Structure formats: structure tokens, C-alpha cells
Amino acid sequence: MIPGHGIHISGMRFPFSFILCACFFAFPLAAAASERIDPAGINGSLVLSGAGLSDEGIDRFNELAGGRKMQVVVLLLDTGKSTMALGAGILARCEEEDLPVPVLVSGDQDQDAGQIIAAINRATGVWLLGQDGGAIRDGLASMGLRDSVSTVMNRGGVVGGCGAGCSVFAADGLSLLPGAIIAVHDGEVDEAFQLDKVLRKRPFLVGYEIGRSALLVVRGRRLTVAGKGAAVISLAAATGRKARRIVLKGRDAVADLSALRFAALARSREAFPANNPPSPVVTRGALIIIGGGAMPQGIVAEFIEKAGGDKASIVVLPTAMPDPVAEKSSIADAFRRAGAEKVTVLTGRTLKQVESDEYLGVLGKATGIWFGGGRQWRFADAYLDTRALDLMHDILARGGVIMGSSAGASIQADYLARANPLGNREIIAEGYERGLGFIKGVAIDQHFSQRKRFKDMSLLVTRYPQLLGIGIDEGTALIVEGEVGRISGKGSVHFYDRRKPVTKGEPDYESVHGGGRYQLVKRVILDPGKP
């Protein structure tokens, strides 16, 4: 506690009565809809508690704040009995667990703002307690603390709130949970759509409803729940998509903040994929799309030749791999041995790195790109809506070549298959449906026969019959120039065309084998090849 300032309420007990309804605020439509989403999620952590803040909730906050090394500030931003009781409960719990005693600051006393700011600047965690978001915002403004609270999260700390006061974390308040609208219920959340009417007017927002005995924890881009209650996440019905409701309850429940925000943004844009997408034509240059596993024989040599032979300038992108991305690259060494004059490995994936002069300079001179394996959503995070992606398309326009395997195959398509950040089981992952679009009007899946993904592609093209579904086996490449795809390697490429009737009991796809060719625009087999 700051000596001579605030109130230290150790040992005090107040009756706890916190009755509250859902709280909503207005949002600036244009600014929110055009905001570029940082896929990394938030800095630090947020702890949003229902009206009934439990010991479990306090413990989770303290853990995120550093446990026995924590330095916590509790800001009591109104003088209501409920707020005072929450502060008392937090302090008592820390004393009970023999943790460092939090500094408690009350907004109703004359206090040295400089000392308070100094305490917050040292803090690893801050509780913002008030009976509603307006009281919290007013209190922070009157004490000049808003920027200081934000810096706690910017340096990896945790900020927490309880009850109706959680609304201040939303998009129109402190925006600590960006792209959000938050409602906290006096009871437990039910199956009714409490936020439906609000979200219909603002489909670019994600709705969060927190039950009385639930605790929503946001850390980076990961959302989990604690406590006995549930948190419910809502997306609006818009652009041909039905309203969506995700119930998080129990320790195994998890959601991805970036996927939710991308999904909401997609609902405020034109429908994707388009009902009549562009034809899958590679007008200039070539795509080499490999289904994972071993490289087809001769494919590296063909890649280097198409990229300019001994004058080739190749960019290797291991972006799809998890951190830390290795600086050394065996595939880069293979390209050098195959005769490429220059091979550059670009390991960064933040916007600052991807749009740096270094990256843009390398891509601007490249004649070929290699997209490696891993998880394809990481490519989307790094390159969508960037100048770097424009330069990648320019490589094709100059007659260059793009090659990728596994994740590096799927990302080449207009529609991005199997890109759920929480796992690769689902072929449709709302929020991560946009690929880099080197070939339009298609969806590409890989490791196809080996991982028995036939039914998954059937599901995707049934949902989006306008797309041509392409499944590529391991050790197999689809080489696209113009309107024709040529198959190379030991496996097959499987084409799903919902323009053709599906006969019960028969495959709903056509397979083309090594040496074969497929006309992508007319969707006909030119040469079936040899199995």
C-alpha cells in the first residue's frame, strides 16, 4: 500500500450483494470495421469475472500476476459496498495464501497521483473494480490512470475486472479486449441470445456473455474459462452465415481470439467465397503444389529451372512452423545445390518484419518462393492484407514460380482449407477461410489419401459447391500453368466438382495420377495418367 494514501481494508468484511444486468455500449462502426487485426492477440492477460468473484478467480489472477513475485494494485473506482467487498475479498485471499499484499487505492480520497502511477508502473497485475463500466472509466480519467493501466498489459501483466465493470474492457472502453462487446449476467448464461440484437447492427464485433460464477481468461490469443459457470461467445448472423454461439465451460474448453475476430470481420464484408469465384487460371508463371511427404522426383530441379535456373533468386518461407523458427534450412540448402544463384530464408512473421524494407526488397527481386510445411493459418496471419502479399503475386505476374508443400500447398488457394488454429481436424475453420489466392476458385487439402481426408473435402464442397475441391496425396505435385494442372509423383490428385451429379455408392471425385493432366476451368480430365 502507498503510505498515507488509499485504504488498507485487511480484516474488514462487507455484505456482498452485487445485482447486475447485461451492460451494452455503442461502438464507432466505421473505425472498428476497418481495423487491422493483430493475429498475436492481446499483450499480457485479462481476467473477466462474473458477478460472483470466487477464490478460484482470485487465485488465477494471482498466478498470472507472478504468484509469490507478484506486485498487484487494486483500484476501487467507486465507493459502493459491493466494490469495497470485492477489494476486501481479494486482500483477504492474498493474505490467506501468504502472497504479497496488494496495494489498494480508493478513488474517494485525496491521493498523490504520482505515487499511484508509480505503483501501477511497477505492478504485474491490476484489478479495476467498480459497479459499472462508466464508474471505472470516470475513475481512471479523474485519477489520470488510463495509460498506466494499459502499460501493465503491454509489458505482459494481467488486468482483471468483476461483474458489470468488465464492460469497460470492450471496444468502446479501454479496448483491452479488442473487437468485443461484453455482457455480464447476474445469473448464469442461458441459451437465449442476449447480444443478438446488438451484434446484428455491429457484426464486426464478437459478443462475450459471462455467467455469475464463470471466469473468462484471455491470454495472448487463447480464451479459457474457470469456475463452475459458462462464458458464451456470439457471432452475428450476416453475409449468408447463421448466427453462431460457442459455449465455454470446463477446464478443457478453449477458443481462439484471432479466429473469432477474423470471423466477425468476415461477417461485415462481402460474402466469401464468392458465389461465382474467378476461374482457376495462372495467367503467367507457375504454381507447384505438393501434398506433403517426400518430394516428387525431379521437382526441385523443375522449380529452379522455372525460377530462372542459375539466375534464380529464391525466397524460403518457414513461416508455418511454430516458434522458434530455425535460421538454418535444409530445403534452402537443397535449392542452392540445385543451382539457384541466391536463396534467402525469411523467418519473421510479424507485420513489422513482413513489411520491413529488408523483406519487401527481397520479395521485390525474387523469381521464386517456397512455402514450407507446418500450420497454414500462420501464413494467413503473416501475409494477408500486406504489401508483401502484393509482391508475391507480382512474382507470378513476372513469370516466376511459387512452390509449397503440405501447409505450403493449401495456402496457395483462394479458399484456405483446414486452418483452425486449435487443431487440424476440421476442414472448414471460420475466421481462417482466406488463403493467399495464387489460384482462384479452389480449395486445396494435402496428405490426402494417407490421412483419409476424402469425406472432409466432400463436406467442404457441399458447403461451397462453387469451389473446385483439390486433394493431393503425399509425394505428389500438381503443377499449374494457365488453365491446366499436370500431376507429377507417386500418388494422385483428386478433384471434387459439385457441378456434376453425385451418384450414391460411387466416389464423388475424379482422380488423376502421375503423368496425367486436368483442365481446371472446364473441370475435365485431359489425361488420367498411370496409377
Q: Is residue 18 part of a domain?
A: no
Per-residue pLDDT of the chain (531 residues; tens, 9 = 90+): 333 333 322 222 222 222 233 344 333 443 344 567 899 999 999 999 998 899 999 999 999 999 999 999 999 998 889 899 999 999 999 999 999 999 999 865 556 778 888 999 999 999 999 988 888 988 888 888 888 999 999 999 999 999 988 989 998 888 999 999 999 887 787 655 678 888 999 999 999 999 989 999 999 999 999 988 999 999 999 988 999 999 999 989 999 999 999 999 999 999 999 999 999 999 999 999 999 999 999 999 999 999 999 999 999 999 999 989 888 899 999 999 999 999 999 999 999 999 999 999 999 999 999 999 999 999 999 999 999 999 999 999 999 999 999 999 999 999 999 999 999 999 999 999 999 999 999 999 999 999 999 999 999 999 999 999 999 999 999 999 999 999 999 999 999 999 999 999 999 999 999 999 999 999 999 999 998
Please tell me the distance from the alpha carbon of residue 308 to that of residue 315, in angstroms, as a whole number.
13
Same domain? 375 vs 462: yes
Q: Is 211 inside any structural domain?
A: yes
The whole-angstrom separation of Cα 466 and Cα 233 is 30
- Give the per-residue pLDDT at 2: 33
Question: Are 314 and 383 part of one and the same domain?
Answer: yes
Same domain, 250 and 306: no
- Residue 498's nearest CA partner among 188, 277, 209 is 277
For residue 105, tell me if it sits in a domain.
yes
For 81, the 3-state DSSP assignment is helix
The domain of 352 spans 282-527
Q: Where are the beta strands (DSSP E) in 2-133?
A: 45-49, 72-76, 103-106, 125-129
Which residues have C-beta within 8 Å of that of residue 259, sequence separation ≥ 6?
A: 420, 421, 422, 429, 430, 431, 432
178 and 327 share a domain?
Answer: no
- Cell 462481402: give the residue: 270
Q: How far apart are CA 291 and CA 384, in angstroms?
A: 22
pLDDT value of residue 187 = 76
Q: Is residue 503 part of a domain?
A: yes
Q: What is the pTM of this model?
A: 0.90
Do the domain assignments include residue 33? no
**Residue in this structure with the C-alpha cell 513461416, named with its chain if needed:** 319
Structural domain contains residue 272 = no
Render 314-334 in DSSP notation, one character per residue.
EEEE-TTSPSSPPS--HHHHH
Last-in-domain residue among 241, 266, 291: 266
For residue 35, what pLDDT is reported? 62
What is d(CA 208, CA 185) in angstroms, rounded to the nearest whole number?
11
Same domain, yes or no, for 104 and 62? yes
Shared domain check, 415 and 340: yes
Looking at residue 110, what is its pLDDT? Answer: 58
Same domain flag for 293 and 423 = yes
291 shares a domain with 239: no
Looking at 266, 295, 327, which one is the last position of a domain?
Answer: 266
* Number of domain units in the chain: 2
User: Which three cell numbers, joined as nine digits, stand for 445?
Assistant: 487439402
Task: At 22, list the grid cell.
Answer: 447485461
Where among 242, 266, 290 does a domain terminate?
Answer: 266
Report yes or no on 8 lying in a domain: no
Do 286 and 370 have their domain in common?
Answer: yes
- 171 domain residue, yes or no: yes
227 and 185 inside one domain: yes
Contact 255, 233 (CB under 8 A): yes
Give the domain CATH number at 433.
3.40.50.880
Identify whether residues 171 and 291 lie together within a single domain.
Answer: no
- Same domain (yes/no): 317, 449: yes
Taking alpha carbons only, the member of 130, 176, 181 closest to residue 151 is 176
